[in-house]
Each structure stands twice: as structure tokens, then as C-alpha cells.
Structure 1
Amino acid sequence: MLPNIANLSTQLDNNTALFLDILDTIPADKLMVRNQHTQWTIMESAEHVLMIEQSVCETLQGNTAPVQDRSPDSKVKQIAELFMDFSKRLFVTKPIASKTVYKDIASYSTDFRATRELIKGALEHHPDQECKAFEHNLFGFLTKIEWIYYLIYHTERHLHQITRIEDNLENMPA
């Protein structure tokens, strides 16, 4: 059974609020700090999330086609299992640089919210169709529904990473 699109949109809004609320609690002087236990800074992780969001937003606005031989949400479980298994490390060789370098959370939040609004708008048209503008290297072509879950789980994974980075910074010798 397909998820209710209004409920999925609400889940995306809740995920947005949680992500930005947590970023708001982090002192500005910790956003760009790196130590021996963390490859990424908090801001690099946040910028990576936004870069993925912007790429997916473009994908959602591209050509779509009806799904063949599967349910339009059949890959959600696989996506959740990948991102929510915190015992497994997902490898990106280095922080992926964003087109924009943010100096503060306020300007970052403005861009993140604007991108999420565009994403929600794209979800309103043919949410159960596959997006043909981009094929994910692990999941293949995803429907708009699956891409939204991808973004939610991807953001949750990076929230976990950001919390771990902040904890490491708290334990860093002065």
C-alpha cells in the first residue's frame, strides 16, 4: 500500500525541523572544528546533506515514467536498512564539497528549507513514478516516494554523524 502523500510530506517537514533544530543548538565556534576522531566537520556534514538534497531536487523535477514490475515504494525498506544501520560505516572518501560554503546556520537553514519546499512541490506530481533523470548506483531508478524516504533516512544518518562529531568535540582536550 502506498503512503499517503500528505503524511509523507509531513514526515519530510518533521525531518526538516528536527535537522535544523539540532543544528541551531550547536555553538557557532564548533561548526568548522575537526579533530583526530572526525574526518568531517559539522558544517561539512550539513553541507553534504544539502548538496544531496539539491541533486535529488533536480532529479525529482526531471522526466518520470510509470514503474514496471514492482510497487512504487518497494525500495523503501532497502533504503532504510542501509542508512539506519549505524553499526555499518558508509564510505565517502572525503567530505564532498558544496557549491556554497556556509559560515552560519541561519543562511544554511534558509537554503535547506527552500530546497525542501521545492522537493515537496515535486512530490505533488506523479509521486509513484520512477525518476529517469538519475539512476542511483545502489538502488537503481527510484520513484519520487522512494527519493523522499531516501532524503529522510540520509538526513537522519547525518544527524547521527553530527551528534557523534559534536560529542567528540566535547571530549577534545582544551
Structure 2
Amino acid sequence: MKNETYSRYDTTLLHIIAVLESIDRPDINTIPFEGSWTAGQVTDHVVKSMDNMGHVLRNSTQPTDRPYDQHKAMLEKVFLDYEHKMKSPDFIIPTNDPLEKTELIDKLATIREDTLDAIATLDLTEMCMSFEMPGMGHITRYEFIWFTIYHTQRHTQQLEKIKEVLDRSQEQ
């Protein structure tokens, strides 16, 4: 369980970092099409969604009285359904200010290292008591990490589409 979680989290974070690195610096704050966030805003949203992760994983936990992975399949179904549009909670809505690509990459790299350490050293079956997932309540460390994996995969795909649009517009 830990090895798969560690590997998948690592691969997912390395992938979003690679996609972000592949976007030209000036394009990071370019709106690719009407109604879209910029690549920087997508990344800012992902960073904000994981910004407090170390605290949630390391503080206020307790043993669970249910299967530690009970919500994993539901999280996967919800976040990897790319046809379903979602509304972001206010606390992770990205800024409208210009964003710096290197700062975003550095933040993702720091979060990656911190979370990989947590995966390697903590009991992932314990319930996180300092965070409640809307519609699910308290979730385990394992489920919280998989939520971030699926959420990041969803937005990595969004970044890849933004990059395609930006690249096409530069070719014209």
C-alpha cells in the first residue's frame, strides 16, 4: 500500500512539474481561451489545495473504525471524470495576480518532498481530524493523499490542454 502510494504520488507530482516546465514562461499568465484559467492559475489552485497538506497529515489523527481506503474509489471516480465540471471551494481559488513559473515549480517541489516523507514515515490508515472532505467528512491519510493524486492528475490534464492551445496559437 505504501509503495504504490509513494510511487504514484511521486510520478504525479513529477508529471505536473514537467508539464509546467514545458510551458513558455511568458505564457504562464496567458488566458488560453474564454472561461479558462491560465496555466499559472491552474498550478496556483493545485498548490493551494496541497499547501496545508503537511499539517493535515501530521497533526490531529486517530485510528479509523472503517476500512482505511473506503473513499478511494469514489475520489477517483469524481476527480478523474473529466466531463464533469467542478466548482472550486473559495479557499483554493487561484489569484488573478501574475504568477512566476519558478515559484510555482519550487512550491510543488517542496510539497512533493514533504508529502513523500509523510508517506514513508506515517501510518496512512489513521483518520485526519483537522480536515473534512466535503460530502465525506474526515478521511484517512491514505485517502487524503489519493485525493491529491487524483486532483493533481485532473489539473495536469487541464495544463496539457492549455499548453496545446498556447502552442497552436504561437504557430499561427
Shorter-chain TM-score above 0.5: yes
Q: Is the 8 A contact 2:41 2:99 kept in 1?
A: no
Map 1:1-174 to 2 at 5 A. 3=1, 5-68=2-65, 70-92=66-88, 96-97=93-94, 102-104=99-101, 106-123=102-119, 124-172=121-169
Q: Structure 2 unaligned runs (5+)?
A: none
In structure 2, how many angstroms separate the alpha carbons of the residues matched to 1:62 and 1:133?
7
Query: Which of 145-154 and 48-57 deviates more?
Result: 48-57
RMSD: 2.3
Q: TM-score, normalised by structure 1?
A: 0.86
Q: Report the Cα offset of residue 62 of structure 1.
A: 1.4
Letter in 2 for 1:12: Y
Write 1 or 2 for the structure with the bigger share of strand. 2
Structure 1 vs Structure 2: percent identity of aligned residues?
20
Q: Report the Cα offset of residue 6 of structure 1.
A: 2.4
1:125-166 C-alpha deviation (Å, 9 max, x unpaired):
221010000111122211111111111100000011112223
SS of equivalent to 1:142: strand
Letter in 1 for 2:79: F
Q: TM-score, normalised by structure 2?
A: 0.87
Q: Report the Cα offset of residue 110 of structure 1.
A: 1.9
In structure 1, how many angstroms separate the alpha carbons of the residues matched to 2:81 and 2:161?
15
Q: Report the Cα offset of residue 26 of structure 1.
A: 0.8
Residue correspondences, number? 168
Q: Is the 8 A contact 1:37 1:168 kept in 2?
A: no
Write 1 or 2 for the structure with the bigger share of helix. 2
SS of equivalent to 1:97: coil
Q: Is the 8 A contact 2:63 2:126 kept in 1?
A: yes
Q: Is the 8 A contact 1:67 1:129 kept in 2?
A: yes
SS of equivalent to 1:135: strand
